[in-house]
Copies of this chain bind each other. A is one copy, B any other.
Amino acid sequence: MKNFKKGTLFVVSAPSGGGKGTILKRVFNDDDKVFYSVSSTTRAPRDEDTPGVTYNFITNEQFEKMIADNAFLEYAGYCDNYYGTPSAPVFENLNAGKDVVLEIETQGAFNVKKVFPEAALIFLMPPSLKELRRRLEKRGTETKESIEKRMDQAKREIPLAEKYDYIVINDGLEKAVADFSAVCEAARLRCHADELVKEVFENA
């Protein structure tokens, strides 16, 4: 893997149940070189949450002050709660040469691309809706209602993959990890083509 002076911003979206977590863990296994952005939210923490890891939990007032201060790369409201990606840690890490990974939904992804066109938008695609449903059911942690809700959201999000820079099909872990890694490398080179060209010339 080639390293550049500045990191690359990867924005990854996938229908939930797509196995995104497992794949990302495998692709970005070198923690020192990658920063996982943590979203801020005003929703209440749940049992499965670890503050500062799954989310930064802040108050409505704090969130709205950050909006006013233009401190979010993107933010949105869902079900009476705010969710947003704080800009500062993203840019600090990119400037320090670390790659940054945002796991966000499609609308957030497009908002990031608008303000930061160098971001590489990657959509992790299930092989079929049938297989996505099978994986959600296999988890055994979801209610029937929650599975339907996730399937509905998947149906809304999947067609938007057409607007992503890269699509990776998640049909088998090893192949998906290899494809995802190759796509990240291609995105890194594309994103830092100017630096790469300089390097090629330096060694003349």
Contacts and interface: CB of A to CB of B under 8 A. Distances in A.
For chain A, the bracket of interface size reads 35 or more
A197 B159 contact: yes
Copies of this protein chain in the complex? 2
- Chain A facing B: main interface SS: helix
Nearest to A181: B182
Nearest to A163: B193
A167 B179 contact: no
A204 B154 CA distance: 12
B166 A186 contact: yes
User: Which of A2, A186, A196, A200 has the largest count of B CB atoms less than 10 A from its CB?
Assistant: A200
B200 A158 contact: yes
Interface in A17-68: none
Contacts of A179: 182, 185-186
Q: Which 9 A-B pairs have the closest CB atoms?
A: A182-B182, A128-B203, A162-B193, A129-B204, A167-B189, A130-B203, A183-B186, A159-B197, A166-B186
Interface in A177-204: 178-179, 182-183, 185-186, 189-190, 193-194, 196-197, 199-204
